[in-house]
């Protein structure tokens, strides 16, 4: 039996709207306080937790005195804007009481689809974790309607897991896990304790014909686990009100359904960069830089660059070639082509004086680089 959360260095915990708002009655201070207690304990144990929390719209409806969920988009967005205040305040208060600093991060899917914004989001989250700040993340419902229409903060949780190279994604929900059928309608339904993430049969089970689980969001959770597995993160779907659920998962206990990734994290990330991203340009490097990349597993520094081709932006994929033009590697550029031309051949210490800012000391960090 696998224990995907045990030994995880970095985990993303997604908490569903029904749990956060006590089935729509407003932010559940007791429940959030308990999850925060567990998150603080994990942080004490050296884990880097991040939270993706639903519930802004339900809390906003309560604060506005609305008893019926509106259908108009602008009213849903207004409810999200109001509710986000209460949601962030509750997490901040409960975590601060436990001595844990927190930060609110609002993302849209567009932030993670655009490479430059993706890199900015990653850098922000990684910096927060380095300073032992717990990010509380939500979809920016005030300006987009994806989550309002589809309820896919599960997908956002998976995207965040990929973004920050998480070891595991934990989806806390009002269900015990993934069953062979809808347990609310079929007494013979059996809880699945461990499955392979991405197995197509799971999608049919969660949202196929005759299943009510898809309407309750189980299909989005199965698809989120499939997405997280592409970067090597396994997923656990578990009942959020199970006592000490996060601590017990971290201790190796089997709770809910574990959806196991079949690809190692490093291999998945290398495959993602090598096979799925379109090249936007290339840089040619000198013999010393080529040797450092090929034999030393080093990052690419501006000082080793001798030529720049193409018109790539920060965060886009470039080919790294030797003096003869043969491709050595591919990676995500920390600077645009125009900036790289200014930096090439210069030491990293000159970046700020040349550009007026410094995003990273490397042109391509070794974590964002795959050898060809």
Residue 4 maps to a domain: no
Higher pLDDT, 128 or 272: 128
Please tell me whether residues 236 and 309 are part of one structural domain. no
Tell me, what CATH number does 298's domain have? 2.30.130.10
Please tell me whether residues 254 and 349 are part of one structural domain. no
Higher pLDDT, 17 or 235: 235
3-state SS assignment for residue 260: strand
Q: Provide the pLDDT for residue 1.
A: 65
Please tell me whether residues 286 and 315 are part of one structural domain. yes
- The C-alpha angle 204, 209, 214, rounded to 5 degrees, equals 65
Please tell me whether residues 187 and 333 are part of one structural domain. no
Is pLDDT above 80 for 145?
Answer: no
Please tell me whether residues 123 and 142 are part of one structural domain. yes
Please tell me whether residues 281 and 181 are part of one structural domain. no
Burial class, 130, CB count within 10 angstroms (exposed 0-12 / middle 13-18 / buried 19+): exposed
Q: Domain residues for 37? A: 10-266
The separation between CA 34 and the C-alpha centre of its own chain, rounded to angstroms, equals 23
- The C-alpha angle 14, 231, 146, rounded to 5 degrees, equals 45
Distance CA 96, CA 101 (A): 6
Please tell me whether residues 176 and 303 are part of one structural domain. no
Residues 232 and 219 sit within 8 Å (Cβ to Cβ): no
The number of folded domains in the chain is: 2
Residue 272 maps to a domain: no
Residue 125 maps to a domain: yes
Burial class, 219, CB count within 10 angstroms (exposed 0-12 / middle 13-18 / buried 19+): buried
Residue 20, number of CB atoms within 10 A of its CB: 26
Q: Provide the pLDDT for residue 183.
A: 81
Q: Provide the pLDDT for residue 150.
A: 35
3-state SS assignment for residue 223: helix
Tell me, what CATH number does 59's domain have? 3.40.1160.10
Q: Which of 72-76, 149-153, 207-211, 307-311 shows the lowest mean pLDDT across its residues?
A: 207-211
Is pLDDT above 90 for 112?
Answer: no
Please tell me whether residues 234 and 293 are part of one structural domain. no
pTM of the shown model: 0.78
Residue 2 maps to a domain: no
User: If you average pLDDT over every residue of the chain, what do you get?
Assistant: 88
Higher pLDDT, 143 or 39: 39
């Amino acid at each position: 039996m696998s224990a995907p959360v045990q030994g995880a260095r970095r985990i993303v915990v997604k908490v569903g709207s029904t749990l956060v708002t006590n089935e729509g009655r407003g932010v559940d201070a007791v429940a959030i306080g308990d999850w925060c207690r567990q998150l603080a304990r994990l942080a004490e144990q050296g884990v880097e937790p991040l939270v993706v929390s639903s519930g802004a719209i339900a809390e906003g409806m309560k604060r506005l005195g609305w008893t019926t969920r509106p259908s108009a988009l602008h009213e849903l967005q207004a409810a999200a804007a109001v509710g986000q205040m209460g949601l962030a305040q509750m997490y901040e208060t409960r975590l601060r009481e436990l001595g844990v600093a927190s930060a609110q991060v609002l993302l849209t899917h567009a932030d993670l689809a655009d490479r430059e914004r993706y890199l900015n989001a990653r850098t922000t989250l990684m910096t927060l974790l380095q300073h032992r700040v717990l990010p509380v993340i939500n979809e920016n419902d005030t300006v987009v309607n994806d989550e309002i229409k589809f309820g896919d903060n599960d997908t956002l949780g998976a995207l965040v897991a990929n973004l920050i190279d998480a070891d595991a994604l934990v989806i806390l929900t009002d269900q015990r896990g993934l069953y062979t059928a809808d347990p609310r309608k079929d007494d013979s339904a059996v809880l699945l304790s461990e499955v392979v993430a991405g197995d197509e049969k799971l999608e049919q089970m969660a949202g196929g014909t005759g299943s009510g689980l898809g309407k309750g969001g189980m299909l989005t959770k199965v698809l989120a686990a499939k997405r997280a597995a592409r970067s090597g993160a396994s997923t656990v779907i578990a009942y959020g009100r199970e006592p000490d659920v996060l601590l017990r998962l971290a201790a190796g206990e089997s709770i809910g359904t574990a959806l196991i990734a079949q690809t190692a994290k490093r291999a998945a990330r290398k495959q993602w960069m090598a096979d799925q991203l379109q090249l936007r340009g290339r840089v040619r490097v000198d013999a010393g830089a080529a040797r450092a990349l090929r034999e030393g597993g080093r990052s690419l520094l501006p000082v080793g660059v001798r030529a720049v081709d193409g018109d790539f932006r920060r965060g886009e994929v470039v080919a790294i070639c030797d003096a003869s033009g043969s491709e050595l590697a591919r990676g995500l550029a920390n600077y645009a082509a125009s900036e790289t031309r200014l930096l090439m051949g210069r030491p990293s210490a000159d970046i700020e004086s040349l550009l007026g800012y410094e995003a990273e000391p490397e042109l391509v960090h070794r974590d964002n680089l795959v050898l060809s």
